[in-house]
Chain A
Amino acid sequence: MTADPRAPGALTERWAIGLLRLPGGTQPYTVSLRDIESDTAWARRVFERLGLRPGLPLHLIGTGCDNEILWPYENALIGMKVPFGVAEPVAIDAPRSDMFLRRFRMQAVVGLSGEIVAALLALGRDLPALLGHSTIVALPDAVPALRAAGLAPWTMLPIGPIWAFESPVADGAHYDQNEWLVEEHGGELLITSLAARATPFVRLRTGVRGRIAVHGDERRVHAD
């Protein structure tokens, strides 16, 4: 008997059950091993775009309840041989992020939240000194404070079950168009799965306000 998730069996079809947090409620959904592998390939493309290099540390901030979304990014870092230290995106765990940022010269900090930034400022930290040498990828609520400190973060935009990434020049957020279609309806972003995912979504309301702009053959998200 084997428990290898690659082998035929239950885990291939139901690798994990996640909880999708949407406006007006949450809903459980299943991800398959195929979904994880596809998302890992996308995560690797994101990190290559960020210019990550093997062997240099990275600080990855994310929450355990998002493991089915987060793991492909961790999986990609392992495959790229990028060591990463982890923390949660909430104020109570800010001392952990503070420790990592003081004690390592991180090549990148991914998933920086507004709560963590506020907590670092409350500790009297100098954000440019902590983060100035790093590529920063921040949640939307952290971006204003980082820009006010003279930093130029990427934005990591959660849209339902996916994350989209926008460069510091704010030319629209990229998402995995092989797997998903993001549309706008009445100013709200809707998401549809295009691939054979374990839980298909059709025009799922995400509660994220924004619009879509077409750049050549690519659709990008501009959040409001």
Chain B
Amino acid sequence: MLELPATEQRYLEAVETLPRPQLLALQQRRLLAMVAYAYERSAFVRHHWDAVGLRPSDIRSTADFTRRVPLMDKDQMRAWRDTHADPFCGLLCTDPAEISFIGSSSGTTGDPTLFSYRWGHEDGNLPAGPGLPADGPSSYWGGTLRDWWEIGLRPGEYGVYFGLRMRGPMFRLLQALGLTPIMLGYGPDDLHHFVDLSRRYRPTVFYAMTAWLGVGLQEIERTMGIDMRDVFASYKGVLFAGEPVGPKMRRTFERWGLAGKIFNQTSFGDLGHAHDCREHDGCHAWEDIGVAEIIDPETGSPIEGNGRGELVCTSLVNAVDPLLRYRGGDIVDLQRGACECGRTHARFTPVGRSADEALIAGRSVLPMDVWGAIEDVPETASGLFQIVRPQRVLDRLKIRVGYGGTPELGPLRERVAESVHAAVGLVPEIELVPNEVIMQSGSRHKIPRTVKT
């Protein structure tokens, strides 16, 4: 049973502000236990460590771990899955029969990969602790409860839940904090219900906002004259998950009274989730839950201290299918040290994905570099676009851009090209398609921002 602190307390758990030496000692203690545990049980880990002659006894510190343990990535996991006909990619440390819930990744780059949970109680009504050690965090999506408490969510409130199910029943987390979830979906009428229900129940959080839903709300505002400031008056946070909010969409939400209340939920290297706090200075990488490193994406060499690099994560509390030194392709700016909010854990700001970077005429272009330029054109303000990237090095920047309505395509193509040119200094080739075509290329909360063709 989760014990919540007093309502006025900012922190959910004492570990959030643990002095850094104690935090790193806790992290190392858990890491050394995980090293032995995973090597003994995970066929994938054992195979790759044996290949370089590494044994758990060789790892006596976090520094040993980051220096000696081989990196792992999704391609290796998929290769293991296909070679061994093992859907769990050789990572499972428990009997498959013990699993309760089998979640899966978004599948934007191939067959989704799996992550699984055991439930804490047989009747399933209690959400705490499947697979987590007794002294671990009180959430099966490591850290999420802390992050939602930080937004200011408190018992007795309501939370709007536009959630997909592939990551599990995350509405249970709202309930764990004492909030009543309002279940909505992606049907054509659901945004209208969102407006009505927000006025009726005055919820405090929206999970999870997407560019597509934002465009729908703008349309309701425009065509029905709804005052969105009133609709969002009670909200303490609107969470974007899967994708960050684009710059123009952010300005729209700020116009609706949500300045400072837009939160980014991103992947903590597939160990769980990371959120920014109310200081909005990076997403907290909870270091009692995982080890966060950055490496040079080309060489794989560790980068010490703060800086930009590819995020590498290790799970400390996942007893079911832990990832050890997993590189997920996310390029981040990492800061180690205390945040203005008082928490002592590392935090990171996603910059892009290494697999999304295109090099054109020696210039690096990531989707975020052109996002705002596309949003600035009214007919393409939904920000639905994909960079066509058959390989990393390209002769020309080509972007497939979604549009709404029935505009004249020739002039629109020129305006979008001019806007992108002004943003990145490259003259792009623009392919225009209806928004729906882009939406059909991914799940409803996330589309691939680069495509091969």
Partner of B184, one of A4, A19, A81, A85: A19
Q: Which residues of A contact B161 (CB under 8 A)?
A: 64, 67
The 4 closest A-B pairs by CB, nearest first: A65-B185, A55-B97, A78-B124, A85-B102
Among residues 1 to 28 in chain A, which have CB atoms less than 8 Å away from a CB atom of chain B? 1-6, 9-11, 14-19, 21, 26, 28
Q: Within residues 27 to 79 of chain A, which ones have a CB less than 8 A from any CB in chain B?
A: 28, 36-37, 40, 54-57, 62-68, 71, 74-79
Which segment, of A90-98, A124-132, A204-212, A214-222, faces chain B? A90-98
Please, which residues of chain B bring their CB within 8 A of the CB of A67? 161, 163, 165, 169, 171, 181, 183
Once A9-B178, A86-B102 are accepted as A-B contacts, the answer to whether A79 and B124 lie under 8 Å apart by CB is yes
Q: Which residues of A contact B5 (CB under 8 A)?
A: 1
With A17-B158, A67-B183: A5-B125 Cβ-Cβ less than 8 Å:
yes
CB-defined contacts of B176 to chain A, threshold 8 Å = 3
> How many pairs of residues, A versus B, come closer than 8 Å at their CB atoms?
171
Q: Is the CB of A10 within 8 A of B155?
A: yes
**Minimum C-beta distance from B269 to chain A (A):** 22
Dominant secondary structure at the A interface? mixed
Cβ-based interface call for A151 (8 A): no
- Chain B's nearest CB lies how many Å from the CB of A18? 5
- Asked if A86 and B166 sit within 8 Å, CB to CB, the answer is yes
Question: Which of B's residues lie within 8 Å of A, judged by CB?
Answer: 1-7, 81, 87, 96-97, 99-104, 107, 111-112, 114, 116, 119, 122-126, 155-156, 158, 161-166, 168-169, 171, 175-178, 180-187, 189-190, 193, 197, 200-201, 440, 442-444
- Report the Cα distance A14→B124, complex, angstroms: 18
Q: Known: A71-B169, A103-B87. Is A63-B440 also a contact (CB below 8 A)?
A: no
CB <8 Å contact, A17 and B104: no
What are 30 A-B contacts defined by CB distance under 8 Å?
A1-B6, A2-B4, A9-B156, A9-B178, A10-B155, A16-B181, A16-B182, A17-B158, A17-B183, A17-B197, A21-B187, A36-B125, A40-B123, A63-B165, A64-B164, A65-B190, A66-B183, A66-B185, A67-B163, A67-B183, A74-B169, A78-B123, A83-B99, A83-B102, A85-B104, A86-B101, A86-B165, A86-B168, A92-B443, A93-B443
Contact B183 A16, beta carbon cutoff 8 Å: yes
Q: How far is the CA of A78 from the CA of B102 in the complex (A)?
A: 11
